[in-house]
Amino acid sequence: MIGMTELSDFCMAAVIVSLLSVGIVVNKGLARRKNKILLFLVLDCFVAAAMTAIGQYIPSMDLDPISADLAIKICLYIYHAFHSIFAILFVMYVIEAAGQWHEMTWTWLILLILPTIIFLIALAFNPETNWVFTVYDMAYYRGEGIYMEYAFAMIDFLIVIALMLVFRNAIGRVKLFRMAGFFFLSMIGVVVQMLIPEYNVEMFIESVSLIGLVALIENLDELINPTTNLYNKETFLLDNKQFIATRIEYAVLVIRLNKYEHMVTALGAAPILEITKDIAAWIHENATTTDCYDLENGVFAVILRNKKTDHESLIQKFFERFSESWTCNDLAIQFNTDLFYLNIPQDMNSINEIMSVLGAQPDDNSGGVRVLRGEKLSFIKRESMVEAALRRGLKEDALKVFYQPIFDTKQGVIHSAEALARFEDSELGYINPEEFIHVAEKSALIPDVGERVFEIVCRDISSGKLADAGIDFVEVNLSPVQCMKEDLDKDFQKIMQRYGVTTDDINLEVTESAVEMDSRVFFETIDKLKKLGFHFSLDDYGTGISNISSLFNMKFHIIKIDKSILWNADKSDSARMILDSIIRMILSLNIKIVTEGVETEFHKDMLTSAGVEYLQGYLFSAPVELDKFVRITKEYNRLNSENG
Ligand code: C2E
Ligand code: CA
Ligand code: CA
């Protein structure tokens, strides 16, 4: 028998401190987080501390010696049982923090807890062997078996050190720091206890270090979205970062309700909020994992770390549910939903790529539920490839400008042209302007692209070739994002001065959707450009919802009716009437019209007799490079003036 302990205030203090830890864990809602290890850890610590304290208190309770010994023994058995699993729980906590739970097989688990089990068996035989401890005359005597408990705890602590070293990146610096603090403080407690058992400080030091650990852990409030009770976007980012750092394979299912904000505007925030909550609850119940996230604005995600074979049935289940509607009171709403199934790292291997999914718009616009996976995800990568190509293109001066003729119906000649950007990349080949302009707008490259186009147009005008072919002015497209640049007017002015071009040589086109954006900077920039002397054309009229009087107030010189309006008029009488009334309305406001998409002689005659002044379309020519444009225009205008 080795030594004997005395009643110590440390025991009471340990009880209080460990009880506080339990309180903190419950209060922070940490027990609801992914696993309950932390809760077990603090409860375990509390029970062990309570048992030592009660055991120390019994001698002063005036019991008869036999019952007193029995009571003390019961306390000590419970204490040893709980205390021996404390270290193993901490090992599990570190494994979880490193995001390695999924790697845990039964074999590993059994190996890990084997020492503890051996000790518990030894403890079970202790009444006969007295190997671990014995109680005699209300005093506690430690046996050799105690050293086995310490030895096994040491093994666990070595495992913890190894885990913290190997997975330091995955755990993250802050957490690692917290854990290491807890770890070394506990170690001090163990060593002191082993050397000077009289003081009985071990439980106290352990509970103090534990309370430090739990107090520093994030509040659950900071991790979850309060409305849906799912984890929030920050947690999604953190978790993915951790998994990617540990190089594990996993999958993410992103559930995106399309036109979510549109629904909020149309149907009101309250019902949509209710439905969103229902959807979140459904996802939580059916995802077979607790790693469910609310990424806001009708986008949810589930992180799947189980076997891939289980994913298929999950996707199917989600597909079926989202094909049906969601109800709130009398309202039944069906969202067009995109289910993105991403295998990490095969499909995407960075946080940026994963996040780019949230706003990605695949080309096919069929409604209902779409499952986007494997090859169908390539368009997301395509965007970043186009962006890289554009950066190359700008550096290597690969951007070109083509011109498309605009025909004047009154004079019967081509009198102006629209400048259209063209880009052929050395790796990706020809890239459609709608695609690269869209990418340029998203990636902040549009000011450079726009400026480059503007400069090429000025250079071409200053060559005199356009004027020589009878072109009065060139239409240049302005992206709304480009107009967010406050000193756009100064940039343009400088370029025009360099080439000796005036604002009479250029008309700027802005789209109807840009005008609808209703942004202050946009209108200010437009005003500054107008002050410089630029005239404006309204592009793609008829594709938006703007009312004509607000457009009238903006003093457009030209309104370009979108080609879809013309093409629809081919198909039905009612669409034909819409086109006619649009034309009449604009003419009555004394604004000139360009109709785009003129492909047939029939279009030309119909529009000419309706009073449209300008026509643009493949009937005259597709957009072509400058020299070809000049040739075509000269030829066309020569023939027509000969005929006329
Ligand atoms: P947009 O401004 O509406 O340009 C007219 C588009 O209609 C051009 O497509 C033109 O080729 C096409 N088009 C004209 N007539 C016909 C026709 O008869 N039939 C058919 N099928 N198409 C016709 P493109 O060149 O592919 O340009 C697409 C869009 O890309 C443009 O639409 C414009 O929004 C944007 N874009 C092109 N260049 C620039 C630029 O330099 N800056 C900006 N911000 N956007 C540009
Ligand atoms: Ca245009
Ligand atoms: Ca247009």
Phi-psi region of 412 (alpha: psi -120 to 50; beta: other; left: phi over 0): left
What percentage of the chain reaches a pLDDT higher than 90?
55
Q: What are phi and psi of 508, to 5 degrees?
A: -100, 135
Confidence of residue 592 (pLDDT cuts 50, 70, 90): very high
For 254-267, write each residue's pLDDT tens digit: 999 988 988 888 88
405 CB near ligand 1 (under 6 Å)? no
Residue 99 pLDDT greater than 80, yes or no: no
What is the best residue among 390, 394, 406, 420 to mutate for testing ligand 1's pocket, by most ligand atoms within 8 Å of CB?
A: 420
| pLDDT value for 433 | 97
Tell me how many degrees the CA angle 407-413-417 measures, rounded to the nearest 5.
45
- pLDDT at position 1 is 30
For ligand 1, whether the C-beta of 623 sits within 6 Å is yes
Atom nearest to 434 CA in ligand 1:
30
Residue located via tokens 């070109």: 400
Q: What confidence tens digit (pLDDT) does each residue in 402-441 have?
A: 999 999 999 999 999 999 999 999 999 999 999 999 999 9
CA dihedral 91, 92, 94, 95 (to 10 degrees): 120
* pLDDT for res 179: 84
Locate the ligand 1 atom nearest the alpha carbon of residue 599 and give its number.
18
Could you tell me if the CB of 451 is within 6 A of ligand 1? no
| pLDDT at residue 3, as a whole number | 36
Say if residue 405 is preceded by a cis peptide, omega within 30 of 0: no
pLDDT in tens, 272-300: 999 999 999 999 999 988 789 999 999 99
Give 480 Cα–ligand 1 centroid separation in angstroms.
Answer: 15
pLDDT at 365: 64
| Residue 596 Cβ contacting ligand 1 at under 6 Å | yes
CA of 434 to the centre of ligand 1 (A): 8
420 CA distance to ligand 1 centroid (A)? Answer: 6
324-330 contacts at long range (C-beta below 8 A, 24 or more positions apart): 326/275, 326/278, 326/279, 327/275, 328/271, 328/272, 328/274, 328/275, 328/278, 329/271
Q: In this model, does residue 37 exceed pLDDT 90? A: no
Which atom of ligand 1 is closest in space to residue 560's alpha carbon? Answer: 3
Which residue is closest in CA terms to ligand 1's atom 32?
A: 434
CB 633 within 8 Å of CB 470 = yes
User: What's the CA angle centered on 249, arms 247 and 251, to 5 degrees?
Assistant: 130
Q: Give CA–CA dist 188/51, Å, rounded.
A: 21
- Provide φ and ψ at 477, rounded to 5°: -80, 135
| C-alpha pair distances (Å), 353 with each of 25, 358, 435, 483, 615 | 35, 10, 18, 28, 43
Share of residues in the chain with pLDDT > 70 (%): 96
Distance 450 CA to ligand 2 centre (A): 13
pLDDT for the residue 221: 66
| SS3 category, 589 | coil
Average pLDDT value for the chain:
89
Mean pLDDT value across residues 467-488: 94
pLDDT category at 33 given cuts 50, 70, 90 is: low
CA gap 283, 288 in Å, rounded: 9
- Compute CA 37 distance to the chain's CA centroid, rounded to the nearest angstrom: 29
Ligand 1 atom closest to the CA of 433, numbered from 1: 30
Residues 636 and 255: their CA atoms lie apart, in Å, by 54
Among protein residues, the one whose CA lies closest to atom 34 of ligand 1: 434
Nearest-CA neighbor of 427 among 379, 374, 375, 390? 390
Atom nearest to 619 CA in ligand 1: 18
Write the DSSP symbol of residue 363: S
For the Cβ of 599 lying below 6 angstroms from any atom of ligand 1, the answer is: yes
Amino acid 644: pLDDT: 61
Residues 567-575, mean pLDDT to the nearest whole number: 94
How many angstroms separate the first and last alpha carbons of the chain? 123
Q: Tell me which of 403, 414, 437, 446 to substitute to probe ligand 1's pocket, judged by most ligand atoms within 8 Å of the beta carbon.
A: 437
What b/e sequence results for 501-537 when a residue is b if at least 16 CB atoms lie within 10 Å of its CB, and e otherwise?
A: bebebbbbbbbbebbeeeeeebeebbebbbeeebbbb
- Which of 596, 615, 616 to mutate to test ligand 1, by most ligand atoms within 8 A of the CB atom? 596
In the reported structure, the alpha carbon of residue 614 is separated from the centroid of ligand 3 by a whole-number distance in angstroms of 13
Does ligand 1 have an atom closer than 6 angstroms to the CB of 136? no
- How confident is the model at residue 218, as a pLDDT? 66
- pLDDT tens digits along 39-94: 899 999 999 999 988 988 888 888 888 899 999 999 999 999 999 999 899 998 88
d(CA 376, CA 134): 69
Whether the per-residue pLDDT at 2 is higher than 60: the answer is no
Residue 604 pLDDT > 90: yes
The mean pLDDT of 301-308, rounded to a whole number, is: 86
CA atoms of 477 and 536, how far apart (whole Å): 10
Q: How far is CA 473 from the centre of its chain?
A: 45
Q: Torsions phi, psi of 298, nearest 5?
A: 75, 20
3-state secondary structure (DSSP) of residue 109: helix
Per-residue pLDDT at 8 exceeds 80: no
Quote the ligand 1 centre to 338 CA distance (angstroms). Answer: 29
> Is the pLDDT assigned to residue 529 strictly greater than 80?
yes
Q: Which residue has the higher pLDDT, 8 or 188?
A: 188
**Tokens 């304290």 sit on residue:** 53
- Quote the ligand 1 centre to 516 CA distance (angstroms): 20
- Ligand 1 atom nearest residue 623's Cα: 11
Q: With 0-12 CB in 10 A as exposed, 13-18 as middle and 19+ as buried, what is 248?
A: middle
- Asked whether residue 4 carries a pLDDT value surpassing 50, the answer given is no
Count the helices and strands in the chain (H runs, E runs): 26, 18
pLDDT of 5 strictly over 50: no
The string over 317-339, giving b where at least 16 C-beta atoms fall within 10 Å of a residue's C-beta and e elsewhere, is ebeebbeeebebeeeeeebbbbb
496 lines ligand 1 (CB under 6 A): no
Whether residue 34 is predicted with pLDDT greater than 60 in this model: the reply is: no
pLDDT higher at 508 or 203:
508
Long-range contacts for 429-434 (Cβ within 8 Å, ≥24 apart)? 431/386, 431/389
The CA distance from 272 to 267, in Å, is: 7
Q: Residue 569: its pLDDT value, please?
A: 94
Residue 558: the pLDDT is: 95
Q: Who has greater pLDDT, 35 or 188?
A: 188
User: Averaged over 509-536, what is the pLDDT?
Assistant: 88
Q: What are phi and psi of 337, to 5 degrees?
A: -120, 135
Average pLDDT over residues 306-327: 91
Q: How far is the CA of 406 from the centre of ligand 3 (A)?
A: 12
Ligand 1 contacts CB of residue 434 (under 6 A): yes
Mean pLDDT of 11-34: 80
